[in-house]
Amino acid sequence: MRNLDEATITQAVLARHSSTADARLCEVMTSLVQHLHAFARDIKLTQAEWRSGIDFLERMGKACSPDRQEFVLLSHTLGLSTLVLAQNNKKPLGCTEAAAFDELETQNSRVYDLGADISGGRQGAKGYMRGTVRDAQGNPLPHAAIQVSQAGGNFSDPVASDTDRALLQADQSGRYFFSTVVPQSHRVLHDGPVGDMLAALNRHAWRPAHLEFVITASGYKRLTTHVFREGDPYLDSDAVFGVRSSLITDWVQQPPGETPDGTVSSDPFYTLEFDFFLARD
Q: What's the CA gap between 215 and 210, in Å, rounded?
A: 16
CA distances from 149 to 226, 260, 263 (A): 9, 21, 25
For a copy of itself, give the closer residue by CB, 60 or 116.
60
Longest dimension (CA), the chain: 81
Select the span of 97-105, 117-125, 135-143, 173-181 touching a copy of itself (CB under 8 A).
Answer: 97-105
250 binds a copy of itself per the rule CB under 8 A: no
For a copy of itself, give the closer residue by CB, 116 or 248.
248
Closest separation in Å from C-beta 228 to a copy of itself: 9
For a copy of itself, give the closer residue by CB, 41 or 110.
41
Closest separation in Å from C-beta 63 to a copy of itself: 8
Please choose, from the candidates 170, 171, 178, 151, the residue with its C-alpha nearest in 3D space to the C-alpha of residue 162.
Answer: 151
Q: Within 3-32, which residues bind a copy of itself (CB under 8 A)?
A: 3-6, 9-10, 12-13, 16-17, 19-22, 25-29, 31-32
Near a copy of itself by CB under 8 A: residue from 67, 83, 108, 123: 83
Kindly report the number of other CB atoms within 10 A of residue 202's CB atom: 6
69 binds a copy of itself per the rule CB under 8 A: yes
CA distances from 199 to 185, 196, 258 (A): 18, 5, 46
Select the span of 36-44, 129-137, 156-164, 175-183 touching a copy of itself (CB under 8 A).
Answer: 36-44
Q: Within 163-202, which residues bind a copy of itself (CB under 8 A)?
A: 200-202
In the chain, what is the straight-line distance between the N-terminal and C-terminal CA atoms, in Å? 50
For a copy of itself, give the closer residue by CB, 135 or 212.
212
**Interaxial angle between packed helices 70-77 and 47-63, expressed in degrees from 0 to 180 and rounded to the nearest 10:** 120
What string marks each residue from 129 to 168 as x (binds a copy of itself by CB under 8 A) or -?
----------------------------------------
Select the span of 75-83, 131-139, 181-189, 253-261 touching a copy of itself (CB under 8 A).
Answer: 75-83
Q: Within 100-129, which residues bind a copy of itself (CB under 8 A)?
A: 101-103
Q: Within 219-238, which residues bind a copy of itself (CB under 8 A)?
A: 235-238
- Give 59's contacts (C-beta < 8 A, 6+ positions apart): 192, 193
Q: Is residue 117 classed exposed, middle or buried when 0-12, 13-18 and 19+ CB atoms within 10 A define those classes? A: middle
CA distances from 68 to 61, 135, 154 (A): 11, 35, 15
For a copy of itself, give the closer residue by CB, 76 or 126.
76
> What does DSSP say about strands 210-216 and 145-150: parallel, antiparallel, or unpaired?
antiparallel
Is 159:72 a contact under the CB 8 Å cutoff? yes
203 binds a copy of itself per the rule CB under 8 A: yes
